[in-house]
Amino acid sequence: MKNQGELVKMQVVLMVMDGEVTVAPPFVQLLPYGYHKTEKGDFLVDEEAVVDILAYYSSREVDPVIDYEHQTLTGKEAPAAAWIKGMESRGAAGIWSPVRWCPRAKGMVESGEYRYLSPVFMKDPVTNRVKYILHAALTNTPCIDGMTPIVNKSETGGNAEHSKEELITMKNIAEALGLAATATETEVMGAITALKTAAGKVTVACKGVLTALGLNEGAKEPEVVGTIMAMKSGSDQTSGLAAQVKTLSTKLAEREATELVQMAMTAGKITPAQNDWAKNYATTDPEGFKVFVAKAATVVQMGDKGKQPAAPADSAAADLTPAELMVCKQLGIAEADFKKTKKA
């Protein structure tokens, strides 16, 4: 299936016949720019007039009509030939409008039955400056000399196709810029200028980032990247030092825990069997372990190095294990009696 652009191109080619333009244009001139003398009075279209004309059009919700031979002014039947769908200033070329043609008028324009447009407007009686445009009409006897013809039959078919191609290209450009397909030439040029300006001012980083880095708003990319790399390097060094400190802190905690457990065992507050539990407790919560040791009852009398005293070789308890000796001491049983009971 052909895309819309190709279909438009084919339609343009089919409309160009016998070397004459036969296309009803999508835009028409409503008023020429400058001061003009006519049989019905003089008028002026300058910058001030343009502002008033466009402002008045924007304030209205009803599309102005283009009729046949000013039939709207007669009060009789006045069918529309086309509808004005917007107004724009084209500088020295005057006020132009995109239009939507009605089928009958489109055929009459393309066949050459109508060639000119005649506007109806209100003006200031003192300055002759145009205030606003009411509507317009198709005519072959325009009052304003110098109006751009709706269709110019002096052009060749090749030129007509080229003109239509320019309109298609402008539409494509507008869409590429993110504008509506009906965007005016002024809007398109404004968007292009904005892009060019933005391209000349490449933003390296937002203002907040530059401020955080301690850089000026106009800082270039190398300066920003260099600052970030320097900070990253410093951060890596800090991370390394932090890891070393953490390792040392862990070793110191383990050493302190070992000492606390040894002291507790020497004081008889824990047994050798409780060594692992006590060391874990002292490592994770050294202050809590100190409170535990201070308040715990003495479990067993220990030697200088935290070990249970061994029984003399010739003692009755020589054959008893350290645990058995501890049981005897806690229960007040003589080692010899325990030994007899054990043998039995």
**Could you report the per-residue pLDDT of 68-95, keeping only the tens digit for each?**
999 988 878 889 999 999 999 999 999 9
Averaged over 37-56, what is the pLDDT?
93
CA 48 – CA 46 distance, rounded (Å): 5
CA distance 341 to 344: 5
Q: Beta partners for 28?
A: 97
Assess if residue 170 is contained within a domain: no
Residue 4: the pLDDT is: 40
Domain extent, residue 84, equals 24-150
Looking at residue 106, its pLDDT comes to: 92
In a domain, 207, yes or no: no
Let me know if residue 50 belongs to a domain. yes
* Separation CA 90–CA 83 (nearest Å): 20
Question: Distance between CA atoms of 40 and 70, rounded to whole angstroms?
Answer: 15
pLDDT at 331: 65
Asked if the structure places residue 119 within a domain, the reply is yes
160, part of any domain: no
CATH number of the domain bearing residue 76: 3.20.16.10
Domain count, the chain: 2
What confidence tens digit (pLDDT) does each residue in 182-211 have? 777 778 778 877 877 766 555 555 676 777
Instruction: Identify the CA nearest to 155 among candidates 22, 13, 12.
Output: 22
Residue 106 lies in a domain: yes
| Whether residue 145 has pLDDT greater than 50 | yes
Reported as a pLDDT band with limits 50, 70 and 90, residue 139 is: very high
Task: Name residues whose C-beta falls within 8 Å of residue 163's C-beta, 6 or more positions apart in sequence.
Answer: 21, 155
Q: What is the mean pLDDT of the chain?
A: 77
Give dist(CA 29, CA 203) in Å, integer: 42
- pLDDT over 80 at 212, yes or no: no
In the structure, what pLDDT confidence band is assigned to residue 235 with cuts at 50, 70 and 90? low
Q: What percent of the chain has pLDDT over 90?
A: 28
pLDDT higher at 314 or 152: 152
pLDDT at 289: 85
How many residues comprise the chain?
344
124 occurs within a structural domain: yes
* pLDDT tens readout for residues 239-287: 666 677 677 778 778 888 888 888 888 888 888 888 888 888 888 888 8
pLDDT at 10 over 60: no
Least confidently predicted of 83-97, 109-123, 210-224? 210-224
Q: String of b and e for 7-38 (b: at least 16 CB within 10 Å)?
A: ebbeebeebbeeebbbbbbebbbbbbbeebee
**Cβ neighbours for 108, distance < 8 A, ≥ 6 positions apart:** 81, 114, 138
Could you tell me the CA-to-CA distances from 27 to 75, 87, 211 in Å, in that order? 27, 10, 51
- Where is the domain boundary, 130, 150, 170? 150
Query: 150, 172, 206 — which closes off a domain?
Result: 150
Evaluate if residue 217 carries a pLDDT over 80: no
| 196 domain-assigned | no
Q: What is the band of 131 on the pLDDT scale with cuts at 50, 70, 90?
A: very high
Angstrom CA distances, 32 to 9, 65, 72, 255, stand at 30, 19, 22, 97
Beta bridge partners of 92: none
* Mean pLDDT in residue range 225-248: 71
Give the whole-angstrom CA distance, residue 159 versus residue 23.
Answer: 12
pLDDT at position 260, please?
A: 85
Higher pLDDT, residue 281 or 224: 281
Last residue of one domain, picked from the residues 124, 150, 176: 150
The predicted model gives 226-250 an average pLDDT of 71
- In the chain, what is the greatest distance between 2 CA atoms, to the nearest angstrom? 150
pLDDT at 226: 77
Residue 80 CA to chain centroid, in angstroms?
46
Closest CA to 63 of 89, 29, 101: 101
